[in-house]
Each structure stands twice: as C-alpha cells, then as structure tokens.
Amino acid sequence: MVLGTRRFKKMKNKNKKIKLLPYKREDVLTIQDAAQKAGWEITAFNLPKAWEFTQGEGVTVAVLDTGADLEHEDLIINLLPGKNFVNLKASPQDDNGHGSHVTGIICASNNEIGVVGVAPKTKVIPVKVLDKNGTGNLQNVADGIIWATDQKVDFITMSLGSPNPIPVIHEAIKYAESKGVIVFCAAGNAGKTHQIFYPANYKETIGIGAIDENFNRANFSCTGDDLDFLAPGVKILSTVPTNWYAVLSGTSMANPFVVGMASLLLSFKRKNNLNIKLETSEDYREQLKKYTTQIPDNNFSGKKFFEGFGIIDPRKMQEWIKNN
C-alpha cells in the first residue's frame, strides 16, 4: 500500500486534525413539512425529466463524512454497509447530521415522502471519518479513502478541508484515481478572497463551488484556478437524523449535487453501452463541461477563477441524453 507503511508515520497523521467545511443551518423540518417543499434545485433544473432515462441505477458512491442516519425512511433503501473509522467497533451512524444531509442530496429515494435526491437509485456507502463535532484525523480520512476504493465504488465525495496541502490524503486520492475511482470535493466556504481548500485544490479531484436560487455564485464560495464547477448550495433541503430534514447552505451541499449528476451520467452510459470514456477525473471534467451554463453576472476578469467551467446544468445533460 502506498500509505502509512511505517508506524511512526501513521501515528503522526493520527494526531493531525481536519474539519468539516463551515456551513449554515437555515431550518429544521419534520417529514410532513419536508414533503410540502420540493427542493428548488430539483425543480429549477427539471430533474424529473432526467429520471425518465436514468435514476442512477448501478452506481455506488462512498460518502466520507460524519456517517449517515442508517434508519432514515428516505435513505435506508439506498444505503449499503459502511464503516466507522472514528470508532472501529461502532456502526457509521451519523451523530452530527452533515453526512446524512450530503447523502440525501445524492440518493434520497423517490418514495413520495420527504425529499428526493439527484440520483434516487444510486447506492451510498457511508464512511464515517469525522466525529460528532465534524472533526477527524488525517490518517482516518486517508484510510477511509483507501477502504472505499477497495470496495470498488465509482465515486468518493468529501466536504472537509484545509487551506494547506494534506500529503497523506493526497496520496490516498492518487490511489483512488489509479483504481478508476473519481473523487469530488467541496471547494470551501471562506469567500471569494480565499483559494479553494484542499483536497478540492488537487488536480486529481473535482472541486465544486456553490450558487444560490438566482444562479449567482454564493458569496461564501471559495474561488481559485482549480475550481471546476458550480452547483446549488444555498438553502438546500435534505435528510438529517433521526428521520428529520434540514435546510443547509454551503459548498458541502453543492458537491453532492454534482456527484448525483455524475451518477446519472455513468448509469446512462452503462445502461446504453455508450462509447464515451469515463475513467479519470479529467474524463469527467471534460464530459461535465458539456452540461454547463454561465452565471448571470459574469462580467469580471478571470472568469474561470470565480466560476470554474460554469454551473452544472442537468437540463443540458437531458438534451445530450435524448440525442444518444
């Protein structure tokens, strides 16, 4: 294995911490209240039209976060056995809420209760690498990436970060890439004066920033030359423990939206045996570029620095699907 071959190196990384990217909790809802509120990101992009072609069947995502609500009515059908790296003797049950929210954005089932995810038939493996405070150590995150990769997942998503490079996590990401596992990361919520955080800043990952309901870049979303795409990340309704729902804002919410889109794309490719190459992060970057739209107010220099290649737009993918 490329990582942690020496005990002293592992112990050093065990003592170094990483945290969730800060995010904002807007509201908490019951299952009945949630059912009355369709997520704006679902309706704005007319995702139900895409579901006529694929709902993400046959795709597996590892969510490296605070775990998942394992008994949530909107998640349980799409959850596969996961692992807890914070406490190896425990299940990956979410004791924070963030991981469940991310999971719901990807795969909350289309069951006429609560909410629905971008890819409502994609499967998720919850990998708990962060504790109830949203903090974890670097070695656990790296081990989680390697373990998830060895489960032969298609994608890994992480919404944690640091302003500084994280070599042990970078090496784990390289391992994932070498095995054909694509890693998506939230860009960070420190605003336009800050470069996107690591690991989103690595070329082997796909870094995602956030937009609001008006399709403008969220003012908290980090910028940088390695920013790849923008996606809905303001006032996003999704699942939290225990059988509740919450409205959160952050690039943490935008990132799983793009993972859901990638799941729809990969599922459609497999179902129809399409001859498109989707093996590396660069392959996905090039393919997803085809389904983007620009933010309304993009009259500024260094456009790529602020919005990446643009807003991921499922409506454009729907048009592509129709033609294939």
Instruction: Give the residue carrying structure tokens 């390695």.
Output: 226
Instruction: Provide the token pair at 306.
Output: 């602020």
Count the neighbouring beta carbons within 10 Å of the beta carbon of residue 71.
12
Terminal alpha carbon distance of the chain: 40
Name the catalytic one among 65, 74, 94, 226: 65
d(C-alpha 42, C-alpha 314), whole Å: 10
281 assigned to active site: no
d(C-alpha 10, C-alpha 146), whole Å: 14
Give the closest residue to 216 by CA, choosing from 300, 108, 272, 145: 300
Main-chain dihedrals φ then ψ at residue 158, nearest 5 degrees: -140, 140
Instruction: Provide the token pair at 114.
Output: 């609560």
Name the catalytic one among 109, 252, 267, 281: 252
Name the catalytic one among 74, 94, 98, 154: 98
Measuring CA to CA, how many Å separate 116 from each of 36, 55, 177? 12, 11, 29
Instruction: Provide the token pair at 223.
Output: 């910028």
65 assigned to active site: yes
d(C-alpha 68, C-alpha 60), whole Å: 15
Q: Which residues are catalytic?
A: 65, 98, 252
